[in-house]
Every structure is written in structure tokens, then in C-alpha cells.
Structure 1
Amino acid sequence: MHAHEIPAGILPAQSGLYYGGAWHAPKAGVFAETINPTYNEVITTAPVADASDVDAAVRAAHEAFPAWAATPPVERGRYLRKAAAVLREHALPLAQLDSLNNGNPVSALAMDADFAADCLEYFAGLATEIKGETIPMGDGNFNYTVQEPLGVVARVVAYNHPLMFAAARLAAPLAAGNTVVIKAPDQSPLSILRLAELVGHIFPPGVANFLCGSRECGDAMARHPLVQKITLVGGVPTGKAVMKTAADSLKPVLLELGGKNALVAYPDADLDKLVNGIVGGMNFTWSGQSCGSTSRVFLHESIHDQILEKVIKLLPERHKPGIPTDPKTTMGSLVSAAQLEKVKRYVAIGIEDGGRLVAGGKQPADPALKDGFFFEPTVFADMKPSMRLAQEEVFGPVMSVFKWSNEDELWSAVNGVDFGLTGSIWTQNLNTAHRAAKRIHTGYVWINNSSQHFIGAPFGGVKQSGIGREECFAELLEFTYTKNVNLKF
């Protein structure tokens, strides 16, 4: 699908910034080209917010906050449900737009709007559950706590699921009575503009605000004195930059960052399911552009050779790079030229460090894909934990396979990285499963499963994989503070 073949009604009609219930041109008049990574060709332009635009959006959100905080929780829930219904209605065109702008397959993105709608409905139902407690103080005193909303919340979202992250991340802060400013990813901003068109007007002016921009925009959000909390889904370097800037005003942060996640297979694993779990866990569908990807696979020596062979055989059947907007495509492109270069660099590093390239390692030969940022599903074997490819997040379709025999050495290798987001354990023994879950140092663990998210189950990491939890009740409380009230009779 070339730029001139974009179906009618897919692109946003507006190309401004949405705040205070209205569309505004960026104050400096700057627009940046946004591309279709399938063909490396310009789709359209998107507005670039600078610090003055951020100030205007934050002030609009700040003005809307008192009335929104005073809105009864049940009514706030109604607004969220209305937004969820609109998302479901437009799920397919929204998926097509994201696919066009970030290179992920439309068939996989089709679930994103529904997942976001699920989140909106989940938090809508929890709006009345933001409860405090009474604390016994003896006669003469009545002591209780209330959870109060913070004020203006700024949320920066990632390019791999822009629509899903933006819509889902509106839910908890709005349910808790905060107003929100969302920043779109600069690589794929279009679905956020479309989201603003679809749901912005549902909420009172200033309650839900949407900006596009690059580093200056995010930096200004983290710096702004009226922003009470900043959150990010993104990479570790960006997370560190946000946290440093937020420290100047002692702003709390919620960070969902990268991962170098391990899949650990014991000798008694169900081998057929394991092979599927390994291929599925790497998220090759998204070209590995997923923070939860299990990019380090630890196979017990007794099953190592046969499983590796099966994985290499299954990969090309399951994931072949193709045009992302084609519903039959099972693996899309990387989001940008920079991301493609990064993947190529890591493949070269893997070979240099002595890894054995057993699958992929290059751009596909298909002439239909020659202009885009495509890369084959890639597997390295004979990996050592000290290698750079075994330590650093690639955010691309590159998997490292390790052979293990000693369990203590295994866990030392698994936990010997700076990350701690997810982990996947494969065994049919209940004791082994629980012991392994205890030993892995991550925020999220799958047993005989990989990649799946469950609404209501806390998602987030430890170490450099982030701070805080999302997609659960705890996310709601992330956007409140505890106020203690003591009444003397």
C-alpha cells in the first residue's frame, strides 16, 4: 500500500495539537514528516509541540482539574465507557493507521483497540474503589484516610503500540480524578491524532489532551511545575532522562522500560509447546520491538539440540517479513532506518563476539520489501552470558540461545543483566515451576506461557526495567496520594 493508496478515512483529518477541548496549530509552526516504514516514504506531516505548546496544554489540564476531580466517580466511569465503545467501533481503521505508521502487521494490531477498551472499562468499574481506611485512635479521636487525585498527569507512550498505549494509559489517571496530557511517539504519531479526534470531545475540555513532539516536548512535560506526575513507556536511556528532569521538581515517575528477558526450559518441558513458546515469546510479529520479548532462551543440555533445530525450522513457516497492511502478513518491519541500523549493528557484534548465527541475520531478499526497514527473524546459538548481545536490549528480531546444565549457574546468568521485566519458565513439575519463579528476578513471570498480558495482573519491572505497576488496581493508586484526617471530638 503506497502513500497514494491509503484507504479513505484512515488518516486523521486534523493535524494540530489537541488541548483544552480544541485543536491548535503548534505555536512555532513546526511540522515534521512522518513516514511509512514499509516503503520509507512520507505519509503526511505531524505537528511538533515545543515547550510553549506543552505549557498551554498543561495549563488547560490544570484548569480542568478541579471540576473533573469533583465529578462523581460513577460518572467519570461513564465517560471512560463511552470512549471504550468508540474505540471498539473504530478498531480496524485504527489498526490500519498504526500499521501504516509503525510497520507492525495489521492482523496483530487489530487487537490493540479492544485491549485499550478493556482497560478503559476495567478502570471505569474501579472508579468507586479508590478507598481509604479508618484507623482506631481510642476515644475522643476519629482518624481516617482518603486517596486524593494528584492533578495533571503527563504520559509519554511508545511507538510499538501507540494507539493502545495512549488509550489504555488514559484510563487509570482519569478514573482517579486527574487530568491527562498524552505525548505521542515521534516515530508514529498519527493514531494519537486520530484518537484525539475520536475521544477527545467525549470528555470535558482540558480533561484529555494530546500532543505530538520529540525530545523537547517530553522534556518540557517532565519539567513543568504544574505536572504532578510523569510516566513513560520507552527505553532505558529515555527513562533515565525523564527521571533526572523530574527530580528537579521532585515529581514522582512511573516507568515501564526495556527488558532482556529470559525463557528458561527444563528437561521435562512439553517440547512441542516449548517450541511454540520460544517462537511466540520473541514477538517476531512485531519484529521483536516489544519490551516483554523473551530474547534470551536457556535450553537444558539434554533438549538443547533438538529444540534449537525445531525452532529454526518453525521460524520461517511462522514469521516471514511481509507488507504490514496485508492481513496475511505475520511479521512487519522495524519502525525506522535508525532501528534497522541498530539491529544490523547488534548482529555484527554477535558474530564478532563468537555467537553462532543459525537463522536470519540479514534483510529479506523479497524485492517488494527492498525500500522498507525489514529484517529476517534472527537466532544466535552458542551464546555466553558475558557477550554484549546477551546483555543489551536490541529491540529487534534477534534471539540468543544458551545451553545450561547447572541450575545455580543458570540463575546467575538469567539474573546477571541490568533488566528485570518478564521471564518465562517451562516445566511440567509444580515444584520446579514455583522454585524457578522464586529465583527469577523480574516483575512478571509466565509458566508454560509467554507474551500474554492479563488485565488486572500487575505488569512492570525491577532494576532498570522500570518503576511501578500498570494494568491493575495498583495503577489506579499510582495517580493518588494518601491524605490522613484526624478529627478530635
Structure 2
Amino acid sequence: MTQALTAPPLPKRLALYYGGKWHEPAGGYRPTFNPATGEILAQAPEANAEDIAAAAEAAHQGFLAWSRLPAAERGARLREIARRVRDHADELAHLDAANCGNPIQRMRPDALNAAAQIDYYAGLVHELKGETIPTADRGLNYSMREPLGVVARIVAYNHPLMFLAGKMAPVLAAGNSVIMKAPDQAPLSALRFAEIIDGILPPGTLNIVTGGSDCGEALVLHPTVRKVALIGSAGTGAAILRNAADKIMPVTLELGGKNPLVVCPDADLETAVQGAINGMNFTWAGQSCGSTSRLFVHDSLYDAVLERLCAQLPKLHRCGLPTDPATTMGCLISEAQFDKVMSYIQLGISEDARLVAGGKRPDDPALAKGWFIEPTVFADVTPAMRIFREEIFGPVLSVIRWSDEDQLIADVNSVDYGLSASIYTRDLARAHRLAQRIEAGYIWINTSSAHYLGANFGGYKKSGLGREEGLEELLSYTQVKNVHVAL
């Protein structure tokens, strides 16, 4: 049985935040839920095009003030935001656990990771440098980096506070103002964050809106918005690209993944099994673009890996109420996502994949009203199956047998995605060879899942455009101006 904590501390203001003030939404309100219990937590504001127009005007005014501040002052104010996030980490974690269904034990590290990202970019404000270019006519030619203006960032529900607070940092550090669109499924931590940091920045520098697809589309289309960045699905990314094309506007897209974890014949067996469990991100019910949801195991280790995987998985990840500190695996975000994942499980069975673990709701009656699915493992999956090729975004791991390296690479690279990959081997040459041949933007060797500040993260193919989490992300929110002086 699992036990919930007391009700989360809700934001005092359930409204849109722009121009340094709170505004009742012209688009009205709609309920936001606790996906683990089905209860309505609050009525969240729903921004429409009218609201976005007002927020964009406020953001433009905020840009005029913020961009004129010295870089050191921008960095100092960002560090103050990071400090407040740390001070309120427990509160924000509790709110996210209740609103998005992820375990509270992982939501506090999310808040601390957000603070670390803010501090990181606060420290890079002096790296927005230009260059001098030698010329043949005794002139002086130099370049400078300038902010873009108003930027919109649309973030996903699997890390609500971490994405919202952390992803605003490079935009603001570069001197832009930003409109952050919180995930419509889990918007409450964004509104509480706005309350916590209110007054640190000039009005209109940071603006927070909530709402669904109409809100997002209005952001992309608004003429004042100079760049859009998305963490979301490939379909949403494609829609943003189409709308951005008419504006000739840059975009950054961090999209989906169907990521491989390759176990080579010389891999350490226990390390590889633990890596496969960690890499699947069962803690988040598999709702992670970086989940290594395709486990390629060499024929010589296949049965041993499968046996240990199915034995260890129930001990490490068992569904529970997200607000219980003992919970190691949360629930899916909504009924729609639950139905989608269950449809893929039925599809895997109909495609003759072998279901060896999970595949159903947990038996705990305390979880009966939530969108829980047990950790699920399919064996004997082949590249012809849809569960091999399509992103499920749920706790479903497909195990594939391999023996020939060239065929392995062909199968690994045969999907539309290329976000991340993980390789387990004790052969140094093999490790680097596979890393070169796999089409993915972020590769782990003998580990999985971890991100490192300063290491650029992003994908190949339909997994996205651009890179985040490093200096390259900061520079992507600037434009370069060249100046030539005749002497």
C-alpha cells in the first residue's frame, strides 16, 4: 500500500503572469488534475490569442529594459532566481508530484537541477563576445552578439518546473525577454514559480502563460515573437516549423526519441541490466524523450539479461502515489496517454512480441483511480513491429536479439528518431566504433540517462533541431552584427 502526503500548497494566484502583474485570462479556465487520484487540484488559466497579444506587448517592453542592463547585472538577478528556487525546492517538488504524477523523491532534484542551470547561464553572460576580423584596407572590422528580442519557449509536462525555470535561463542570459508556456497538463508549479521570483526582473522580462494548443499556436504566429523553442512531440515540432517558415524565424526543437541501448557480448552483465532499467526512466513511467526503449542484447547474453531484467525490475520500480516519498515509479499524465500506452501494449501482443513483464494496471487498490501501468517488457521484438519503430512515451521496453554488428547498426538507425543511445562494452575500440556509427546526438558508454551541464544535448533526424544545455544554446538566442570602420 502507498501513502500520500498532505495536499500540495497551491499557488495563491491562478492567473496569467506578464508585464510583472497577474491578469485574468480572456480565454477562461479549465481544471487541472492529479493524475494519480483523478481529483481536480485547481482551475488553471487558459490563454487565448487575445491574452498572447497582451503578453507579447509586455514582453517587448520588458526586452527594452532588460537588454540594456549590464551583463553582470543580468547574471546577478538570475542567480537570485536560482537561490529562491533552491529555498522553495521542497514546495515546488510537492506541487509537481501532485500535478504531473512523477515521484516526489525525483521532483526535488528536478528543482535543484533547474537552479543549477540558471546559475550556469548566469555565469556565461560575459561569453557573449564578438570578434575582430583582419582586413586589407587598414579598416577595423568587428562583430558583436545581440539578443533577438522576444522569445517563446514551450515546455513539456514530464519535468514541469525544471523545464520552465531552467529553460528560461539561456534566453534571459543572452538579453532577451521570454514568454514561457507552461505544460497545459501540469501548469501549477509554473504559477507558483512566478509568485516566488516576482520582483527580481524588470516587468515583462519573464512572462508565464498557460493553455493548450491554441495558446501555443498564437505564440508561434505572433509577429513580436522572434524565436520559438519547443520541448515536445515530433508532430508539434513539425507544426511549429510550418508556422515559423512564414515568419522566417529560427526555432529550436527538442523532440521525441526511440533510443537504443546496445549490450555487447563482452559487457558486464549486472552493469548492463542496471543500465537498461535506469535508461528506460521507469521512475517517470517511461515518459522521457531520452528513454532507451529499445534494448538490443547480443545473442550470447540475451537469455541471461532478460532473466535478470525481469527479476530486478519489480524490486526497483513499483507504482505508488507520487506524493509518497517511498514511491519509485509514478503514473502517466492523463487518461489519453494511458489509453495510448495500453493500445501499444495490445499492439505488441497482436504483433507476436512476447510479454514477459507488466502490461497492466497495478493491483494496489490505492492506485485504482490513477493512470498507472506496471513496468512492461516485451521480448523477441523485431524491426517490423510498430513497438520497435514508434515512440510510445510510456513504461514499455522492447528487447531485441542481435548477433551481427552491421545488421545491428542498420536496425538501430532504421527509425525516424536519433536523440540518444547507450552502449555497454568493455572493448574500447568497439565502444568508439559503435558511437561513430549510431545516428544519435547524445551517446552514453557504460552508463545511461545522465545529463551534464555544458555538454550540448540534442538529436538527429526527427528528434529535433539545435542543441541545449551548453554554450551553444546561449549563443542560439543571439544574432551576429558586423561593423566595418574605414580608418
TM-score (normalizing by structure 1)? 0.98
1:9-48 equivalence runs, <5 A: 10-28=9-27, 30-48=28-46
1:297 aligns with 2:295: yes
* Code of the aligned partner of 2:142: Y
* Paired residue secondary structure (1:348): helix
Distance in 1 between residues matched to 2:446 and 2:33, nearest whole Å: 38
Counterpart residue number, 1:105: 103
The share of aligned pairs that are identical, in percent, is 54
Distance in 1 between residues matched to 2:196 and 2:236, nearest whole Å: 29
Counterpart residue number, 1:70: 68
Distance in 2 between residues matched to 1:320 and 1:64, nearest whole Å: 46
1:222-233 equivalence runs, <5 A: 222-233=220-231
Q: What do residues 433-455 of structure 1 show as CA deviations (whole Å, max 9, x unaligned)? A: 11011011000000001000101
1:257-268 equivalence runs, <5 A: 257-268=255-266
> How far is 1:251 from its partner?
1.4
From 304, 307, 327, the equivalent of 1:306 is: 304
* Code of the aligned partner of 2:46: V
Counterpart residue number, 2:7: 6
From 348, 373, 376, the equivalent of 2:374 is: 376
* Code of the aligned partner of 1:411: I
Distance in 1 between residues matched to 2:345 and 2:412, nearest whole Å: 21
Counterpart residue number, 1:161: 159
- Closer/same/farther in 2, CA of residues 3 and 41 from structure 1, 3 Å limit: farther
Distance in 1 between residues matched to 2:85 and 2:152, nearest whole Å: 21
Contact 1:200 1:209 in 2 (8 A): no
Counterpart residue number, 1:192: 190
Counterpart residue number, 1:474: 472
Q: What is the count of residue pairs matched by the alignment?
A: 486
* Paired residue secondary structure (1:483): strand
* Code of the aligned partner of 1:6: A
Counterpart residue number, 1:465: 463
Distance in 1 between residues matched to 2:66 and 2:486, nearest whole Å: 31
* Code of the aligned partner of 1:17: L
> How far is 1:342 from its partner?
0.4
Distance in 1 between residues matched to 2:58 and 2:245, nearest whole Å: 24
Counterpart residue number, 1:397: 395
Q: What do residues 427-473 of structure 1 show as CA deviations (whole Å, max 9, x unaligned)? A: 01111111011011000000001000101000111100000000100
* Code of the aligned partner of 2:51: D
> How far is 1:140 from its partner?
2.3
* Code of the aligned partner of 1:14: R
* Code of the aligned partner of 1:96: H
Contact 1:38 1:103 in 2 (8 A): yes
* Code of the aligned partner of 2:7: I
1:120-139 equivalence runs, <5 A: 120-139=118-137
From 434, 437, 441, the equivalent of 1:436 is: 434
Counterpart residue number, 1:142: 140
Counterpart residue number, 2:483: 485
Structure 1 segments of 4+ aligned residues over 4 angstroms from their partners? 1-5
> How far is 1:67 from its partner?
2.0
Counterpart residue number, 2:451: 453
* Paired residue secondary structure (1:147): strand
Q: What do residues 364-406 of structure 1 show as CA deviations (whole Å, max 9, x unaligned)? A: 1111100100000000010101210000000000000000000
Counterpart residue number, 1:360: 358
Distance in 2 between residues matched to 1:272 and 1:381, nearest whole Å: 18
- Closer/same/farther in 2, CA of residues 204 and 459 from structure 1, 3 Å limit: same
> How far is 1:2 from its partner?
10
Counterpart residue number, 1:337: 335
Distance in 2 between residues matched to 1:383 and 1:307, nearest whole Å: 15
* Code of the aligned partner of 1:19: Y
Contact 1:265 1:426 in 2 (8 A): yes
Distance in 2 between residues matched to 1:224 and 1:201, nearest whole Å: 26
From 53, 56, 60, the equivalent of 1:55 is: 53
> How far is 1:4 from its partner?
11
Contact 1:200 1:208 in 2 (8 A): no
* Code of the aligned partner of 2:284: W
> How far is 1:139 from its partner?
3.7
* Paired residue secondary structure (2:151): strand
Contact 2:52 2:218 in 1 (8 A): yes
1:249 aligns with 2:250: no
Contact 2:3 2:321 in 1 (8 A): no
> How far is 1:354 from its partner?
1.2
* Code of the aligned partner of 1:240: A
> How far is 1:3 from its partner?
10
* Code of the aligned partner of 2:16: L
Distance in 2 between residues matched to 1:59 and 1:374, nearest whole Å: 42
Greater displacement, 216-225 / 134-143 = 134-143
From 192, 205, 208, the equivalent of 1:207 is: 205
* Paired residue secondary structure (2:355): strand
Contact 2:4 2:323 in 1 (8 A): no
> How far is 1:141 from its partner?
1.1
* Paired residue secondary structure (1:298): strand
Distance in 1 between residues matched to 2:424 and 2:167, nearest whole Å: 31
From 267, 270, 275, the equivalent of 1:269 is: 267
Give the superposed CA RMSD: 1.2
Contact 1:268 1:428 in 2 (8 A): yes
Distance in 1 between residues matched to 2:409 and 2:20, nearest whole Å: 52
- Closer/same/farther in 2, CA of residues 409 and 3 from structure 1, 3 Å limit: closer
Distance in 1 between residues matched to 2:302 and 2:198, nearest whole Å: 52
> How far is 1:245 from its partner?
1.3
Distance in 1 between residues matched to 2:248 and 2:128, nearest whole Å: 24
* Code of the aligned partner of 2:421: G
Contact 2:4 2:324 in 1 (8 A): no
Distance in 2 between residues matched to 1:420 and 1:200, nearest whole Å: 39
* Paired residue secondary structure (2:207): strand
* Paired residue secondary structure (1:70): coil
Distance in 2 between residues matched to 1:428 and 1:134, nearest whole Å: 47
